[in-house]
Amino acid sequence: MTSALEQLKETLGEVDDLQRTAAVLFWDQETYMPPGGLAGRASQVELLSRLAHERFTDARVDELLEQAARETADQPASSDDASLVRVSRRLYDREVKLPIELVAEMARAESEAQPVWAEAREKSDWKIFEPRMRITTDLAKRAAEAYGYTDRPLQALLEGTEPGVTLDQVEAIFSGLRETIVPLVKHIAEHHDAVDDSVLDRHYDEQRQISYSLDVVQRLGFDLQRGRQDLTRHPFCTSFGRDDVRITTRVKRDIRDSCLFSSIHEAGHGMYEQGVGANLNRTPMAEGASSGVHESQSRLWENLVGRSRPFWRHFFPSFQKAFPHVLADVDAEHIYRAVNSVQPSYIRVDSDEVTYNLHIMLRTELEIDLLEGRLQVEDVPEAWNQKLEHYLGLAAPPAANGCLQDIHWTFPTLGGFVGYTMGNVLSAQIMESVRGDLPDLDDQIEAGEFSNLLGWLRTNLHEHGAKFTPNELVERVTGSPLTVDAWVRYVRGKYGELYGLD
Amino acid sequence: MTSALEQLKETLGEVDDLQRTAAVLFWDQETYMPPGGLAGRASQVELLSRLAHERFTDARVDELLEQAARETADQPASSDDASLVRVSRRLYDREVKLPIELVAEMARAESEAQPVWAEAREKSDWKIFEPRMRITTDLAKRAAEAYGYTDRPLQALLEGTEPGVTLDQVEAIFSGLRETIVPLVKHIAEHHDAVDDSVLDRHYDEQRQISYSLDVVQRLGFDLQRGRQDLTRHPFCTSFGRDDVRITTRVKRDIRDSCLFSSIHEAGHGMYEQGVGANLNRTPMAEGASSGVHESQSRLWENLVGRSRPFWRHFFPSFQKAFPHVLADVDAEHIYRAVNSVQPSYIRVDSDEVTYNLHIMLRTELEIDLLEGRLQVEDVPEAWNQKLEHYLGLAAPPAANGCLQDIHWTFPTLGGFVGYTMGNVLSAQIMESVRGDLPDLDDQIEAGEFSNLLGWLRTNLHEHGAKFTPNELVERVTGSPLTVDAWVRYVRGKYGELYGLD
């Protein structure tokens, strides 16, 4: 007779197949689908999501989870089987709490909100988007109620993207960062002449940017036998299983929103997905541990590797060879400095490593205030601009470059920005642990040797997939809880030297 | 209360969504999927096919069909709703006859047979493939038993690809063709100097072939707002719904297996799918009427349009402009003659319009003999070579270029070749009807005006999707039953003139 565990695995495998298939539909929609395909695609995606939800929340899964828990009671908590039961139970208990009508309402709200947001941003008019933002906030509140929480609604939503992470933890991180960044940004501003980044604005052949980027991510360790790169308007990474991971990038004439860094960022996500243990295949653990942990990998490769001096010492000769006329008069150090220039700016996705987290704090604080009733939807633009002035010293922008810039508020939930800052902070903390084990990491990078770094990440982090919660994983990987200390050391050291601060 | 008809439509819509999604997975697999994706993809496709099958063969569908039949009893047979019930009932009654174990066994056999066939063809050794061919034949027999038939097993299988077409009809077509083609090929052979096709072997830039082909199919009427073209090893057409139809093509340095004609052929299929009425969306009628009718459209555009003199009079100047150095010394008439050269050859997919049907007859006759016990699997190579000598006057080839050349016998069914010949014959019969209504068609083609031809096909054929059976449709479109007469007139006229026969 088949054990409950085996039956559970079979059902979860099917749920996984359905979700991965929905991911293929999404990838195709963003990369190659002709415009006519949109209507049919929406109905296909909706059906697959519904089938996956129905299959996963079936009462039979509850029974199987219970029986499988008994069958695996003697196994250590970190074993694959015990983890499968634990992780699936957590996801099951959460997913059954959302009434199916609310799930449908949320899906509908999202697709309805996006064209309204696009129009509002086009016309730079918050009033157009305001009714949709009320719906977003209302749905987020209702979802939080359905999931349940003690005193703070965002806590219930955060549990979905960062299981086990508390809002107190997040706010402690924010306040630690605020203390460092706000004065650091001012200090850098006084020395802004130290870095000349005008080389980024030259004209780089687009096709060559794309092929060069693909070459770089391959050399970092993104496996093209088990993945590929395509072009999209907004770069992303998606996985159809560890052996088929798709990243996308975008390209412009200049390299300010660089194709190269987009590719490295997404390849960071991609190498994480490619590194998930084959033993976790077709289970809910066959993915990254959380949005924040995922972002730690993309940021580690993009910033701590890709924007490092040894990286440019290694890659500059080939980069110069790819663009010989454009780069005839510059050297590795010049590019290294240019890609690390710090400048408060309006747009989150274009912002540098130092100011980026301020953009996240600003948004998350507004979301908390909305959910806890201290802020009304109509007052969002004003609150946005106040914080912008306070954190970044910038005057109020048109709404298109302010509170209408991100697509995230068309999603029928809130709290989605937190992972970006968790990722930034965690990337530095992980990198300190890596350096403990690989003291000559900089020499390796300068020699174009990335396999020890990737190997370290694989063994310590990637292989576990979503077996552990973010906090458990941080403890396992770094030996201490998540704090801002490593990140603060990293930015103070790097930017202090770059800008000649004392 | 929702009518049974509405509930039926909803269920059939979901079945359609699942099937289209499986088609997206297949398209991705053939176009862009990295090698690592294969294993995961197989499990995703298998699940979707199973879900579609389960949903469609559910006993509730039987009930809904019965009730919906009563609800639509007063509607004319050709109405959308009455047709939906009639067509779905036919498909349902057929699909429930296959035991689910046999369905699974057939799916497994297919995936297992393909690598064996690839190896056998590689080594040109029938003995390697023989055991798999026994399984193919056995499964085809068992499927035929399950579907049921009076005296000829292939009849039961044919019903799946060409509903309502009898094996007697097919054999009458074959014998009509045989009478014409065998002597015609001999007659042409005596005059083979009349056509010089060496221009096809020159070197044509591959990228330019691809973009030129895309340009041509767009001008014929393939809509890139609702479709696209990509590269694959074996060209095909697949539809994710009438508004998202994907065709693929392939390219070599020479134009003997031409990228252009591959593209036109697949675009012929594609325009059919794009032309299916929007009213049939998400129903089992939202596709071509049968393999044969589908092939009539691809062949009509590829051969009766694309290999016609007025076509080349129109396109030659732009074709020459695309390959100015290669084509400096030739003219439209030269290309027209070259792309119509007739030469008995071993490989079906490379063969010309005249000899092509002989390849189909040969295969189908062997399949009938296998199923009816007159031929043993181990004797296939010998039987193949005998027929090859008899029909095409060719000496026995290595098995790789003989009975191992086609992938079709890895499919756990037989009878799949019939549609190719039905399509060829039907394309000529339809074209005679078109010319009755558009007497200046050749002038239109020479002027690059294809919209009246496409419009005629849309109105008379494409819009109906799979509402009518092939025989019903042929009667509706051409006013008479399917016969070889039009095709015989067409090849005798065209090739008589080309080769200067009397």
Are the Cβ atoms of B40 and A241 closer than 8 angstroms?
yes
- Other beta carbons less than 10 A from residue A101's beta carbon: 8
In sign, the C-alpha dihedral spanning B11, B15, B20, B21 is positive
Q: How far apart are CA B148 and CA B231, in angstroms?
A: 40
* pLDDT confidence of residue A15: 97
Of B21, B37, B225, the CB nearest to A240: B37
Non-local CB neighbours of B112 within 8 Å, separated by 6+ positions: B132
Which positions in chain B touch A49 (Cβ < 8 Å)? none
pLDDT at B257 over 90: no
Task: Count Cα atoms within 13 angstroms, Cβ side, for B222.
Answer: 28
The helix or strand, by DSSP H or E, that contains position A246, with its residue range, turns out to be: strand A245-249
Report the alpha-carbon angle B398-B400-B401, nearest 5: 70
Task: Say yes or no to pLDDT of A191 above 90.
Answer: yes
Interface contact A43-B243, CB threshold 8 A: no
| Beta carbons of B243 and A36 less than 8 Å apart | yes
Whether A244 and B34 lie within 8 Å, measured CB to CB: yes
Cβ pair B116, B128 in contact under 8 A: yes
Whether residues A282 and B226 touch (CB distance < 8 A) is answered with no
pLDDT in tens, B327-379: 999 999 999 999 999 999 999 998 999 999 999 999 999 999 999 999 999 99
Closest residue to A40, CB basis, from B20, B34, B41: B20
> Are the C-beta atoms of residues A239 and A246 closer than 8 Å to each other?
yes
> What is this structure's pTM?
0.95
Kindly state the DSSP code that residue B229 receives in the 8-state scheme.
E
| B contacts of A248 (beta carbons < 8 Å) | none
Report the DSSP pairing between strands A237-239 and A245-249.
Answer: antiparallel
Instruction: Give the per-residue pLDDT at A201.
Output: 96
Average pLDDT score over residue span B420-437: 98
Is the CB of A3 inside 8 Å of chain B's CB atoms? no
Q: Which residues of A43-53 are buried (b: 16+ CB within 10 A; e: fewer)?
A: bbbbbbbbbbb
Question: B293: how many CB neighbours lie within 10 A of its CB?
Answer: 26
Compute CA distances B480 → B172, B177, B296, whole Å.
Answer: 16, 18, 16
Cβ B36–A240 below 8 Å, yes or no?
A: no
With beta carbons under 8 A apart, name residues in chain B contacting A226.
Answer: 34-37
Which candidate in B31, B33, B43 is best for mutational testing of the A interface (most A CBs within 10 A)?
A: B43
Q: What is the pLDDT of residue A257?
A: 81
Tell me, yes or no, if B372 is annotated catalytic.
Answer: no
Whether residue A1 is predicted with pLDDT greater than 80 in this model: the reply is: no
Residue B92: which pLDDT band, with cuts at 50, 70 and 90?
A: very high
Cross-strand pairs, B238: B246
Who among B21, B48, B244 is closest to A37 (CB)?
A: B244
Q: What is the 3-state secondary structure (H, E, C) of B444-466?
A: HHHCCCCHHHHHHHHHHCHHHCC
pLDDT of residue B168: 96
Q: Which of B129, B132, B152, B130 is nearest to B141 (CA)?
A: B152
DSSP for B316-333 reads: HHHHHHHSTTTTTT--HH
Q: What is the mean pLDDT of residues A458-485?
A: 97
Q: Which of B30, B159, B162, B266 is catalytic?
A: B266
Q: B194 vs chain A: nearest CA distance in angstroms?
A: 45
Structure tokens at A210: 């794309």
Enter the tokens of residue B288: 């071509």
- The sheet that has A227-231: what strands, in order across it? A227-231, A245-249, A237-239
Rg of chain B in Å (alpha carbons):
23
Q: Which residues of B446-461 are buried (b: 16+ CB within 10 A; e: fewer)?
A: beeebeebbebbbebb
Q: Are B108 and B384 in contact (CB under 8 A)?
A: no
Identify all chain A residues contacting B227, using CB atoms and an 8 Å cutoff: 34, 36
Spatial distance between the Cα atoms of A323 and A208, rounded to a whole number of angstroms: 8
At residue B82, what are phi and psi to the nearest 5 degrees? -60, -40
DSSP result, B129-178: HHHHHHHHHHHHHHHHHHH--SS-HHHHHHHHHSTT--HHHHHHHHHHHH
Over range A424-445, report the average pLDDT.
Answer: 98
The model's pLDDT over A48-103, given as tens digits with 9 standing for 90+, comes to: 999 999 999 999 999 999 999 999 999 999 999 999 999 999 999 999 999 988 98
Q: Amino acid identity of B238? A: T
Contact in structure between A340 and A195 (CB atoms under 8 Å): yes
Does residue A499 register a pLDDT over 80? Answer: yes
Q: CA A177, A178, A184, A185 torsion: positive or negative?
A: positive
Q: What gap in Å lies between CA B276 and CA B245, rounded to an integer? A: 11
Residue A473's nearest CA partner among A304, A296, A298, A270 is A296
Any A CB within 8 A of B47 CB: yes
Contact B244 A25 (CB under 8 A): no
Which residues in chain B have their CB less than 8 angstroms from residue A270's CB? none
Considering only residues 209 to 248 of chain A, which have any Cβ-Cβ distance to chain B shorter than 8 Å? Answer: 223-228, 230, 240-241, 243-244
**Res A100: pLDDT:** 86
B20/A282 touch (CB, cutoff 8 Å), yes or no: no
Q: How far is CA A401 from CA A112, A216, A350, A416, B443, in A?
A: 22, 32, 11, 19, 57
Residues of B in contact with A227 (CB under 8 A): 34, 36
Cβ separation B34–A241 shorter than 8 A = no
Q: How many CB pairs under 8 A join A and B?
A: 107
Distance CA B27, CA B229 (A): 11
Q: What is the pLDDT of residue B42?
A: 86
φ, ψ of residue B247 to 5 degrees: the values are: -115, 155
**pLDDT, position B377:** 97
Q: Which residues are CB-contacts of A224 (< 8 A; sequence separation ≥ 6)?
A: A214, A218, B34
pLDDT of residue A147: 97
Condensed to tens digits (0 to 9), the pLDDT of residues A276-313 reads 999 999 999 999 999 999 999 999 999 999 999 999 99
- Band (A104; pLDDT cuts 50, 70, 90): confident
> Which of B11, B47, B222, B273 has the highest number of chain A CBs within 10 A, making it the mutation to test binding with A?
B47
Asked if A14 has any chain B CB less than 8 Å from its own CB, the reply is yes
User: What average pLDDT does the segment A146-157 reach?
Assistant: 96
Nearest-neighbour CA in chain B from A16: distance (Å): 9
For residue B17, give the nearest of A13, A47, A225 by CB distance.
A47
Computed over every residue of chain B, the mean pLDDT equals 96
Please say if the pLDDT value at position B274 is more than 80. Answer: yes
Under 8 Å between Cβ of A422 and A162? yes
How far is the CA of A140 from the CAs of A57, A157, A410, B414, in angstroms?
A: 21, 8, 11, 56
ipTM for the assembly: 0.93
Task: Tell me how close the Cα of B32 comes to any Cα of chain A, in angstroms.
Answer: 8
| B 254-283: CB under 8 A from A | 281-282
Q: Which residues contact A212 (CB under 8 A, 6 or more apart)?
A: A260, A318, A319, A322
The reported pLDDT for the residue numbered B464 is 98
A441: left (phi over 0), alpha (psi -120 to 50) or beta: alpha
User: Which residue in A475, A454, A451 sits closest to A463, CA to CA?
Assistant: A454
**Chain centroid to CA B40:** 29
